[in-house]
Amino acid sequence: MNKELANLEKEVERLTTKIELLKKEIGKIIIGQEETIEQLLITFLAGGHALLEGVPGLAKTLMIRTLSDAIDLKFRRIQFTPDLMPSDIIGTEILEEDHSTGKKFFEFNKGPIFSNIILADEINRTPPKTQAALLEAMQEFEVTFSGKTYKLDKPFFILATQNPIEQSGTFPLPEAQQDRFLLYIKIGYPTEQEETSILKSTTCSVKTKVNSVISGEEIVRLQQLVRELPISDDLISYVSKIVRATRPETSSNDFVKEWVSWGAGPRAGQAMILTAKARALSQKRLAVTKEDIDAVAYPVLRHRVIVNFKAEAARITSDEVTKDLLKNIAV
């Protein structure tokens, strides 16, 4: 038993060291944005998908491309546009001919969804019909076309970006689809020092090479280790209290009753526990703490707690609801 534990500790040490190397490789290209990068890596370790929101020019696309360069996996970028069709994502049947017999037949030509890392760039620029083409892949990790189901390669991640300030020509994601994203990550402006470094490094002729430092098999193993990580019953109860307190009809929190229209479902609690475990493992810890849960609560609940019209008029966001809940709920 002691030998098995020692081997497990060695494996955890080796794999978590790879996460540190991954951060360093991303840091070669992306200046600052440590919190965003950490949340992206948490998404990978928890085996989910992430929605990134930020104004133009904050390197959302570059960040995801750099992350994929540092991981030995297949990467495809899909630029979402108003005329994009579901078949442009999933694939379509094409008419083929058997040259030996002359017989014609239809063959499924796989689309870009059949990769490991999918960058769904500006996902809110395409109509709901095309957005919905991602739903089955995100939840069941498979694609059904013409009555036949095709399994997707694992690990499989969809990292979607959207611009919060443009309204014309955009189609907001339905709440049910937003719920499929494990984390909703908001990217802020860089600090003055970071912006100076960005201007200096991006306007010269020096090209930085990003090396692949971790494989798909190692990512899958890390995902298994995340699920095996222990969490106390007290912390599970704490997560349950937070999620249940977001629902106005059952909450005893006055802030929620006044400002929230719809609370989070059970998927929010699952996401909070998994991402808290992933955060602990990424920091080389083998147990979850309250700080892990508090840190992931914001990106987990951001798109699952829907504030009412009165809150929108008063500029009260779901993040402020989460802040109030974490202040008033004890372990």
Does residue 238 fall inside a structural domain?
yes
Q: What does the mean pLDDT of the chain come to?
A: 89
Does residue 214 fall inside a structural domain?
no
Q: What is the pLDDT of residue 321?
A: 94
Please check whether residue 31 is in contact with residue 201, taking contact to mean a CB–CB distance below 8 angstroms: yes
To 5 degrees, how large is the angle CA 137–CA 268–CA 253? 155
Tell me the CATH number at 158.
Answer: 3.40.50.300
Domain residue limits at 264: 229-330
Of 165, 188, 204, which residue constitutes the final position of a domain?
A: 204
Does residue 218 fall inside a structural domain?
no
Does residue 1 fall inside a structural domain?
no
Per-residue model confidence as pLDDT tens digits over 138-194: 999 999 888 889 999 889 999 999 888 766 678 888 888 899 999 999 998 888 898
Residues 167 and 35 in one domain: yes
Cβ neighbours around 98 below 10 Å, total? 9
Residues 196 and 264 in one domain: no
Residues 285 and 170 in one domain: no
Q: What's the chain's length in residues?
A: 331
Does residue 187 fall inside a structural domain?
yes
Tell me the CATH number at 269.
Answer: 1.10.8.80
**Amino acid letter at 172?**
P
**Phi, psi (5° rounding) for residue 280?**
-60, -45
pTM here is 0.89
Name the band, by pLDDT with cuts 50, 70 and 90, for residue 49: very high
Residues 86 and 120 in one domain: yes
- Specify the pairing of strand 71-72 against strand 50-53: unpaired
Per-residue model confidence as pLDDT tens digits over 260-294: 999 999 999 999 999 999 999 999 888 899 999 99
Does residue 212 fall inside a structural domain?
no
Whether the predicted pLDDT of 13 surpasses 90: no
Q: What is the pLDDT of residue 1?
A: 56
Place of tokens 């860089």: 190
Residues 276 and 147 in one domain: no
Report the sign of the C-alpha dihedral through residues 221, 222, 226, 230, in that order: positive
As for how many domains the chain has, the answer is 2
Encoded tokens for 99: 């040259």
Residues 238 and 298 in one domain: yes
Of 144, 171, 204, which residue constitutes the final position of a domain?
A: 204
Please check whether residue 288 is in contact with residue 230, taking contact to mean a CB–CB distance below 8 angstroms: yes
Residues 172 and 267 in one domain: no
